[in-house]
Amino acid sequence: MTKLAANLTMLYNEVDFLDRFDAAAKSGFAGVEYLFPYAYPKEQLAEKLAKHKLAQVLHNLPAGDWAGGERGIACHPDRVGEFQDGVGSAIEYARALGCTQVNCLAGIAPANADPEKIRVTFVDNLSFAADELEAAGIKLLIEPINTYDIPGFWLSRTQQALDVIRDTGSANLFLQYDIYHMQRMEGELASTIKAHLPQIAHVQLADNPGRNEPGTGEINYRFLFGFLDAIGYDGWIGCEYKPKGKTIDGLGWRAAHGV
C-alpha cells in the first residue's frame, strides 16, 4: 500500500516551516521528510511530530553551506573531519525524531581534486557513516541527482550508486531512488526499480518537466504507483515536488492517481 510523505522543504511554502507539520497532517499525510533538521532544536521538532501524529521518514546528513551553494561534502577530500562530525549530529537528531534512515548527499565534485581521490573519499566516508549509523539502528542512503538541476553533482546515475554501495562493503547502505532525477538522467524507471528493489530503501517523486506535482508532465505516475505495489515496495514515497500553485490547491493529484 502506497505510503506518501510530505516533503516540508518543498511543500507548504506559503506557511512558516514549523507550521508545515500541522498543514501536512491536516492534508492527510502520515509522514514527513525535509532536507535538514539542524536549524531547530530537536526537542521542538519531536514535539511537532508527536502533536500531529506524524512519522519522521527521512532527513539528510549535514551538507555544508547550503545557502552558499554547496550540495553536500561527502566527496570532498578536504572536508572529512567536518563530514564525520556531521554524522554525529545526524544520529542525535534521528534518534530524537524517531527517524530510521538518513540520506547522504555526495556533493558537487571539487574542481581541482583528483577524480580518483574524490571517489575514494566518498566511499571511505560512506563506510564510516554506515558503521556509525548501523550501531544506532539507522539506515544510510545515497541519492543520485540529475546534473541539469545541479551541474557537477558527483553521484548522478543508478549504477554509479550501486557500484559505490558495493565498494563500501557495507550492509547498511541503500539507494534512495528519486523518480524525477532518474527520469532526467536515464529513464527506464520501472525496470530499474524492479531490478534493484532490495537495495532501494526510499523513493521520491516529482513530475518532469518542471518538477511539479504528478499529472503535470510526462511521467505515468498512475502506472508507477500500481507497479510499486505490485512488485512489493513497502517503503515511503516522499513528495518532493514544487507545487504549481498553493500546495493544498494541488493535492488533488493523489485522488486522481489512486493514492
Dihedral (CA of 130, 107, 70, 81) sign: positive
The yes-or-no answer on residue 240 being catalytic is: yes
Among residues 70, 92, 132, 240, the one annotated as catalytic is 240
Is 188 noted as a catalytic residue in this protein? no
From the list 134, 143, 213, 218, the catalytic residue is: 143
Beta partners for 139? Answer: 101
Residue type, 139: K
- Which amino acid makes up residue 23? A
List alpha helices for the chain, DSSP H. Answer: 20-26, 42-51, 80-97, 115-135, 158-168, 179-185, 189-195, 221-231, 253-256
CA 149 to chain centre: 15
* Catalytic sites, residue numbers: 143, 240
